[in-house]
């Protein structure tokens, strides 16, 4: 088949059902889910471990600085992303990330010491505070008794 007759297809993002059905994914907030799509958009199959997105690109794609920061932290804490290089004011440049369920494409400058493949599978939910008992739990943790209503 000649090059002219080959079908050209756009790159696409694929997320397996194993990921979408994982407890770690189900626990993600919507901003973190959106950020995962953005990260996957910039993954080209050869840059896992050096995926980066500038603040400007994230802003233009609808993320505020705080939302982006929180979403990236959430993806890291749930085991979907691993930061291989820290960027920011001190080091300059953007942070680099790896998707944990894909092979790493190693390049100079990456920190892979604590990288765990498929870390999202090992994610354990934190115990959630029962909202109806929050005041009682909070005051007991501080060594206080809950406030009681006095009958008049």
Q: Which residues contact 93 (CB under 8 A, 6 or more apart)?
A: 52, 87
Q: List the domain range (segments joined by +) for residue 58.
A: 17-125
Residue at 139 is within a domain: no
Residue at 105 is within a domain: yes
CA dist list (Å): 44 to 3, 13, 114, 138: 22, 10, 23, 47
pTM recorded for the entire structure: 0.76
Residue at 11 is within a domain: no
Query: pLDDT tens per residue, the chain (152 residues)?
Result: 455 555 666 778 889 999 999 999 999 999 999 999 999 999 999 999 999 998 899 999 999 999 999 999 999 999 999 999 998 766 668 899 999 999 999 999 899 999 999 999 999 988 754 555 554 444 444 444 444 444 54
CA gap 23, 100 in Å, rounded: 16
CATH of the domain at 34: 1.10.10.10
Residue at 142 is within a domain: no
């Amino acid at each position: 088949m000649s090059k002219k007759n080959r079908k050209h297809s756009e790159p696409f993002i694929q997320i397996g059902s194993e990921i979408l059905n994982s407890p770690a994914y189900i626990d993600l907030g919507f901003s973190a889910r959106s950020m995962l799509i953005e990260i996957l958009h910039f993954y080209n199959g050869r840059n896992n471990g050096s995926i980066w997105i500038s603040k400007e690109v994230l802003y233009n794609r609808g993320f505020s600085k705080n939302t982006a920061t929180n979403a990236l932290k959430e993806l890291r804490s749930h085991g979907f992303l691993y930061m291989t290089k820290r960027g920011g004011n001190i080091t300059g440049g953007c942070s680099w990330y790896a998707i944990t369920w894909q092979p790493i494409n190693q390049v100079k400058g990456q920190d892979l010491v604590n990288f765990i493949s498929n870390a999202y599978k090992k994610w354990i939910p934190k115990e959630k505070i029962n909202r109806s008992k929050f005041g009682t739990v909070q005051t007991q943790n501080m060594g206080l008794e809950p406030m009681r209503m006095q009958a008049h």
